[in-house]
Amino acid sequence: MDKKYSSVHYHQYLELDKILDAQHLRSAEVEEKPAHDEMLFIIVHQVYELWFKQIIHELSSVIDMFRKEEVDERNIGTAVSRLERITEIQELIIKQIDVMETMTPLDFLEFRHYLFPASGFQSFQFRVLEIMMGLRAEERLSYNNASFHVVFNEERKEYLEKLESGRSLLEVIVEWLERTPFIKYGEFHFLFEYRKAVKRMLERETESIRNSTILLEETKKLRLQMLGNTNTYFDSVLDPEKHREYQQKGMLKFSYKATIAALFIHLYRDEPILQLPYQLLAKIKHMEELFTAWRYRHAQMVLRMIGRKTGTGGSSGHDYLNATAQKHHVFSDLFNISTLLIPRSELPDLPADLRKKLGFHYTSTNSK
């Protein structure tokens, strides 16, 4: 029979002999009575690695879709679906911490000394994931005053370095955003109209605060100060030179053009053609949120289990993990867009012809 159509047994297809024979308790090698909870510890971490493999599989496919000069618009829906799958997996791996925490700190201490110097920091797949997302080497917290590469052999170091020189999700999404049409369309200049709308909105808010008969003078002063800070933020983000300056300082990662495109998509996301692009950006933000949540939840679990002890791999344990949750962000520019949003009632009106094109009448042959 053709091998393509040959039968296969469930056990054989899943290679369960390999998987189910991969839990070797170190405590069982030396103790008469092995630590019962070491089995849970091993399985939870093995499941993490399996899910990391699936996330890498999904993320690789999304990056490949956006590598090309012209992205097939049909691929955006597929990318949204695959990013949604990733976020569902992330919800699961966060939930796994609840399973891990059925083990008490004393249960963990029964076998913790057998783990040295193994550490979650040595997860090669998680480092691959971070690089694929777009986390740059210079943005990382150092590990015991050394590069994160030091825990891997030469072959894996070379793989990570090659991956770092390639294009990440961050880079391909920025390039895709930069190609967004409609920012300028005939006589319509989105940025010019948007700036006018922001100015009108801030003027109305300022007048409303000053004329309020309910607010105390001190409260008015504080709100006007906050409004002034918002105005300054609008100016700084919408100024190309200031944007470039912030990029050079590492405060922003998106190009000016990509930022304006992301803002346009967020503001006019109700238009049919922009709904999928908006969902794509929303899924990317959700993915980043869940990675941060997982890091933070992991840090809290470590605090619960070992307190302020040093981690088995030599890191500062909880403090290091908590710091990565605060610092290791890739798509912070997308979250900054919320600061620039204005109410739907304030949105500049789109020309009738442009609104028609945003309603699926647009094709590459009639773009302007």
Number of structural domains in the chain:
1
Place of tokens 């399973």: 99
Q: Is 319 within the bounds of a domain?
A: yes
State how far the alpha carbon of 172 is from the alpha carbons of 180, 195, 250, 252, 322, in Å: 13, 28, 18, 16, 29
pLDDT confidence of residue 167:
95
CA 284 to chain centre: 6
Burial class (CB in 10 A: 0-12, 13-18, 19+), 287: buried
Contact 9, 85 (CB under 8 A): no
Q: Is 1 within the bounds of a domain?
A: no
Q: Is 327 within the bounds of a domain?
A: yes
Q: Is the pLDDT of residue 368 over 80?
A: no
User: Measured over all CA atoms, what is the biggest interatomic distance in the chain, rounded to whole angstroms?
Assistant: 87
Q: Is 221 within the bounds of a domain?
A: no
Q: For 23-41, what is each residue's pLDDT tens digit?
A: 999 999 988 899 999 999 9
Q: For 47-81, what is each residue's pLDDT tens digit?
A: 999 999 999 999 999 999 998 877 887 899 999 99
Q: Is 263 within the bounds of a domain?
A: no
pLDDT confidence of residue 349:
93
Q: Is 286 within the bounds of a domain?
A: yes
Q: Which residues contact 3 (CB under 8 A, 6 or more apart)?
A: none
Could you tell me where the DSSP H helices lie in 134-216? 154-165, 169-178, 190-210
Please report which confidence band the pLDDT of residue 367 belongs to, taking 50, 70 and 90 as the band edges: very low
State the CB neighbour count (10 A cutoff) for residue 215: 15
pLDDT confidence of residue 365:
47
Q: For 283-324, what is each residue's pLDDT tens digit?
A: 999 999 999 999 999 999 998 988 876 655 555 578 888 888
Q: Is 246 within the bounds of a domain?
A: no
Q: Answer with the residue of higher pLDDT: 267 or 315.
A: 267
Coil, strand or helix: which one is 350? coil
- DSSP β-bridge partners for residue 143: 146
Please report which confidence band the pLDDT of residue 3 belongs to, taking 50, 70 and 90 as the band edges: low
Q: For 196-247, what is each residue's pLDDT tens digit?
A: 898 888 888 888 888 888 988 888 888 878 776 666 767 766 789 988 888 8
pLDDT (average), residues 255-267: 96
Find the distance separating the first CA and the last CA of the chain, reported in whole Å.
58
CA 281 to chain centre: 10
pLDDT confidence of residue 166:
93
Q: For 320-340, what is each residue's pLDDT tens digit?
A: 888 888 889 999 999 999 988
Tokens at residue 223, please?
């709100």
Looking at residue 8, the DSSP 8-state letter turns out to be -
pLDDT confidence of residue 321:
84
Q: Tell me which residue range forms the domain holding 154.
A: 8-179+269-338
Q: In terms of residues, how long is the chain?
A: 368
Q: Is 95 within the bounds of a domain?
A: yes
CATH code for the domain in which residue 105 is found: 1.20.58.480
Degrees, nearest 5: CA angle 143-148-154: 140
Residue type, 176: W
Coil, strand or helix: which one is 184? strand
Please report which confidence band the pLDDT of residue 92 belongs to, taking 50, 70 and 90 as the band edges: very high
pLDDT confidence of residue 60:
97
State the CB neighbour count (10 A cutoff) for residue 305: 20
